[in-house]
Each structure stands twice: as structure tokens, then as C-alpha cells.
Chains A and B, each alone.
Chain A
Amino acid sequence: MNDLLSVENLTFENCHGKRWQHKEKRFTLGPVNFSIQAGETLAIVGANGSGKSLLAKLLVGLERPDSGSIYLNERKLEQYDNKHRVLNIRMVFQNSNESLNPGITLGSILEEPLKLNTNLDGRARIIKVEETLRLVGLLPEHRFFYRHMLSDGQKQRVALARAIILNPQVIVADEPFAALDPSVRSQTVNLLMELQRELGLGFIFISHNLGIVRHISDKILVMKHGKVVESGKTEVIFHWPKDEYTKRLVHAHQALINGQD
């Protein structure tokens, strides 16, 4: 089976400060290699500042990699081929509150990607928006609502709707569950898994919560200081971690679960 998305030797070097200030402290990411197939879930775990969000930004094209390449359906994504990338790789932000525009209705927020990337007319756009809202478990009437009228869980659903409205193949989510309380979190997780099953999405997500990671992901990428320390199938990593850092992560998680029993 062909890979949906594969990343080869992706690197990125972040120089702090201006060019004339010779600062020693530099952050280098990578080289990163991974691939996922349609319907698969890849989880990226690691400590704060290990370059997880940066990797997500590189994938969706907000930052330019220094070297390496990203292939979507075996086709290389060029830096300026934004149209192709926008249509197929969509991002869900960590803070859904901030990623929704407070001044316009949810309908216009969701219509924006359609306006920019499709040839649908006004009526068809509204139908598509209503369909998508229903798909994420909201009402069609929610398109008249503003950001401040929604609860956090509903905002997360809207952020998800915004990601899937263009029928993408890959969704990149940067800690989509971090700000949610446990019940809403499990609702959202189930919603995501359901959507993934229905639409056959490849799903890349960043999380601190190893419980969720173990529950929904097929593969794991463990990162530390910008380097990939371990990657592989979820069950393999949880049962036989090789790297010291991964071992500690898994043990901490196990201790937490066993402590609760």
C-alpha cells in the first residue's frame, strides 16, 4: 500500500537573533523521517520545546524546511505549491479560541477556505458549511453564531470543521485536546476517530497525554531536543521501549495508571 504522506530527512535550523549577532544558541530540528498511510494515526510526543509544534508548522507550510522533502501521495510538495498543500493538509490549532475570528460568524469563518480554494457558488457553500457542521456534531444554525457564544468543546468542533471542510487527506493537530476537560476530551477523541474512519484521513497529532496516544495512534514518534529518539508502532513502543527517554516516559505513564487502580 502506498504511503499517504512521507517525510524524508526533514531538517530546520532556527537562528535566534540577527545575522550580525553571533549567538551560539541554535535550535536544530531533525533529521525527521516518517510515513503514514490513509486512515493511520501518528502521534508525536516529547517534552516542551522539543520541536513538536515546529514540525507541525513545517508540515503545513508555515515554515520553510532547510533541507529534506515531504511527499504527499508520492508527489513531492514544493515550497510554493500552496494550493495543493492547502487542499490536502489541514491544521487544527492548539488554542481553538484564538484560531476563530471573533468579529465574524462561524458561517463566514467556515466559508473562507471554500471561497479561496473552490469554485462553489454562495448557495453551495452554505450547504457545504451546514453539512460539515452537522458532521462534527453541531447544528446547521450554528453558522449564525459568533465565537463568544460557544463553549470550549463546541469551539474545538468548529476548529475541526474548519480543517475537514476542504476534504483533506491529512490533518495535523497541535495538542487539540489540551484545553478540554476529560468528558469533552473523550467526546472529541471519539468524534475524531469516527471522522477518521468515515473519511479515511491520515491524522498526525501532537499530545502530552500518553493515555490518548495509546488509545488512538497507530505509530509514535518520540522527540527530544529536536531529534527523533524513537519511532515505531504504538504497542511496540509501549511494551518494549528502547531509548532511555522513552522508557522513562512509558514508566511514568504506567505508574500513573497503576497508581489509580
Chain B
Amino acid sequence: MPRLNLYQEEFYPSPIQNTWKEFKENHAAVVSLYCVIFFIFIMIFGPFLAPFDPLQQHIDFLLVPPAWDNNGDISHLFGTDGLGRDMLSRILYGCRMTFGISLLLVVVSMLIGVALGAMAGMSKGFRSSMVNHLLDSIMAIPTLLIAIIIIAIVGTGLVNSMWAISLALIPQFIHQTRDIVRQKMKKEYVLAAQLDGAGKVHIFFNSILPNMAEMLVVQVTLALSVAILDISALGFLNLGAQAPSPELGALLSEGLSTAYVTPWNIALPGAAIFFMMMSINLVGDGLRSALRYRLLR
């Protein structure tokens, strides 16, 4: 029988197209998405955009204000710091470092956390409840504190702080995944999949993962903002990235010494952190509601 196609112009959007259709409705989220794309662009192409090396000291241009100030100089758009380093280049490199590292940490801890959480959620009895209660006690402590404790043991440094933060982020992913997997395992469609002869792995990837997207988006958004804040906080406290490196938190703490003379040296890195956090949270929020409404309308 030839396939009867009554409506030639009928078009069936894929799940991603559906989500985008809902996402577009939220204008704040779309603007924030452009903002996030801008940060990702900086993350990848930052070194090509930066006018100077972030560590190069211009002896003739110490503490130059930004270009829009009367005393500013157009060759240093965002001014310079006390050692004559170009702030624009430092912030571009700083965004690249802070954002890139946070993204990497979140992806790694998400993969590990979701895998462990799925295993805990699918198993029953003693093993599962042990994982649960152990992680509950860890989750009572703020991530920054856990990170500081880990750094106190293994020593300061950017790589150590990365380890610390990803270790602190993993329990949240495990906990949330375990909860949602247990909740979905009771649903009848999982029973139906079992009757199709599906194994545990198949059930997780085909029946539970499609329904976990909303939770994952919320959790990744949260984890990304926590990671950015923690990386910069550790940099600010001189526990993470060390002084000459252009990390946004380290930039802030360096700018603090000359805060009264050159307020832009803390205002500009601070604004960069602020925009990063705000855009990530708005995109996360928009994406979450888009994913939810995709399955309601």
C-alpha cells in the first residue's frame, strides 16, 4: 500500500526543535543564551582577541584608567593594573580560565555522578541505602568548605582546587540521580519495558534518561554557578589559582590592594563573574521550563 500523505506541508519537529520553540518564547533566556555563547566564544578564541599577553608589563602605562575615562588610553581599553598589565587581555584570559575550567569540572562530575547515582538507584537494599546516607551527610556541608578542607590536605594550586571542587560536586549529582531513578523505576512504563525484555542498562538509557533531562538541566546550572563561584573564591583566597595567573578571583584579590586608586580593577572582573552567573542561571531556568512545556503542550 503506498504511503498516503495527506498534508505535504505537515512537519514533525524533533525533540530538540520542540525545545527550541518553547525556549524562544522566553526573551530573557534567549538574550542570556547569546551571552553564554559569547563567553564560550571567548573561551575558545580568547587568545586571538586579546591585544596583549596577560602577563606582559607595560612600564610606561601603570594604573591607566579605562579608555572611556578622560585620562584613559585607547591602547588599553579596560586600563591597566599596578604592574602595567593590560586589563582587557587579563579579563579575556580570566573568563577563558574560570568558565572553561568550571565547564570541564561540571561535565566530568556530571558523568561520574550520574553513573554512580544510576547504579545506586537501580540497586536495592543495603548497598543503595548506604550510598544514600553517606552522601546525605556529605551534602550537609557546603561545597566551598569541602573544597577548602581538601585543599588543606593536598596543598594549594589550581589543579588541586579543580580536584577539590569536582569531588565536592559529585555527591549532589549522585543524590539527585538516585532519587529520580528510584522514582521512575516504580512507573508502569518501566514495568512495560521489563516485559519487553529490557535489561537494566537499556531501561536506564531508553526509559529513564529521556525523563531526567529537566533534573539534569537544573542540576548542571546549579553546579556550574557553584563551580564558577568556588573557583573564583579559591583564587581570591589564594588557595586556588596563584597570583600572576589571570583567573578572575585572583584578579579580584590583586585589584583589592589598589581598590581606592583604581576601582575598575575590581569592578571589571567582578562584572565578568556577575554576567557569567546571571546568563547561566537564566539560560538554565529557560531551558528547564522549555523542557517541561515541551511535554505539556
Contact = CB atoms under 8 A, between A and B. Distances in A.
Contacts of A104: 206-207, 210
Contacts of B141: none
Contacts of A60: 195
A93 interface: yes
B196 A117 contact: yes
A140 B141 CA distance: 53
A99 B202 CA distance: 17
Interface in A178-195: none
Interface range for B: 20 to 34
Contacts of B187: 98
B contact face: mostly helix, strand, loop, or mixed: helix
Interface in B202-222: 202, 206-207, 210-211, 213
B16 interface: no
B213 A103 contact: yes
A112 B196 CA distance: 7
A204 B123 CA distance: 33
Interface string A135-170: 000001100101110000000000000100000000
B243 interface: no
B77 to A, nearest CB: 47
A90 interface: yes
Contacts of B213: 103
A104 B198 CA distance: 16
A91 B195 CA distance: 8
Interface string A103-114: 111001000110
Contacts of B192: 91, 93, 99-100, 162
B295 A148 contact: yes
Interface string B1-29: 00100000010100100000000000000
A175 B297 CA distance: 29
A188 B159 CA distance: 64
Nearest to B3: A140
Nearest to A143: B12
Interface residues of A, number: 31
Given A82-B197, A116-B197, A101 B295 contact: no
A90 B195 contact: yes
Interface string A50-67: 000000000011100000
Contacts of A99: 188-189, 191-192
A162 B210 CA distance: 19
Interface in A198-248: none
A22 to B, nearest CB: 21
Nearest to B196: A113
A112 B193 contact: yes
Contacts of A130: 3
A249 interface: no
A147 B195 CA distance: 19
Contacts of A91: 192, 195
Contacts of A117: 196-197
B197 to A, nearest CB: 4
A95 interface: yes
Contacts of B202: 116
B59 interface: no
A83 to B, nearest CB: 6
Contacts of B193: 101, 112
B197 A101 contact: no
A101 B10 contact: no
12 contacts: A62-B195, A82-B197, A90-B195, A93-B192, A99-B191, A102-B189, A103-B210, A113-B196, A116-B198, A116-B202, A141-B10, A148-B297
